[in-house]
Structure 1
Amino acid sequence: MAYSERETVDIRTGETEKAFEKLFRENFKSLHAYAFSFVKDNESAEEIVQNVFFRIWEKNEELALDSSLKAYLFRSVHNESLNQLKRQKIRKSIHISYESENLSASGVASEKVTVSELQHSLQQALLALPQQCRTIFQLSRFDQLKYRQIAEELGISVKTVENQMGKALKILRVKLAEFLIIIFALILNQVK
């Protein structure tokens, strides 16, 4: 069913619970099927759809639609499904890493070697960053400066700082990808 612009506004702002409930009932099955096509689990698919509707309800006045409401719902379910798959993959990797670490008799010695390798790789990755990227990253992550403070200190715009941080993080993610599981395992061990 197509929604008029007025109905869309009513649904978004929560002015009428009936309109929101109608939207939920009319779209739940198709959105659930769409989410299921990603996650292959009924409960997870149901949770994804409910999360999408919850966020719409919660952020009703902040919601800005550039397209139809139905397209927005499907795009939201798509994104939420991909996020769910990423979280599952990370949990699985941490679990596998954690189990293999527990099975290892020389876990402590190998952990020290791994931390040393990680520190070395981090230094190498930082050196591989372009100068401005590296400077901005270090000011943000090591000196704990906010983007606005970095921009003022370097005489550049906040947007440039944001772009350079994004670039730095992307490069570091690629260069340090092999250590992500190890980092999670180390964090888990410190929590114990």
Structure 2
Amino acid sequence: MKKARQEIVDWMQELYEGNEKALAYFFKLHSKSLAYFTTRMLEDKAEADDIVSKCFLKVWQKHKDFKTEQNIKAFLYISCRNACLDYLASLKVRTAAQENYIKYLLGGEETILYDVVQTEVLDMVNKEIEELPDKMKIVFKMLYIEGKSTAEIAEELGLSIQTVRNQKTKAVALIKNSLLKKGVSNALQLAFLFFITK
């Protein structure tokens, strides 16, 4: 944990000094979460990716203004949110979901904070899923990402329903323990539990 923190501090210094590799580092760190965040609002992945790229360009243009990685993250989320709002406002025809997102985005900082937290939790959970043993990972993804039932998974993988349940229970326990070891707060662990019970 301390080593990871020091690495971020070092990259912050590199960014301040104008090292392009530092921008690539922060892009790798945050672009996936931001792409999820913007795609949900726009229902247009290409446009969402374009907005994320433009917001990172703004980070580069202001690279001397950021004191901490949290400053960069906040700037990126707020910039992406504003760019999404501008894009949605410019559309002649909007879907019902896009109309709802305009109201949502105009709703204030609490709504944006909720979305940021949800995005961060999903990003962390996705990283933890990739660390699971192969069979467990397949079962977990089928349950929570593909939305299949225990019976469907058992049939598809040629396993008993009890084996699927056992794999699910072990996967949830492993992810929870890993989040705990990484110092993830109780609030984020609760968000994870909400994610897996939805």
| TM-score relative to the length of structure 1 | 0.39
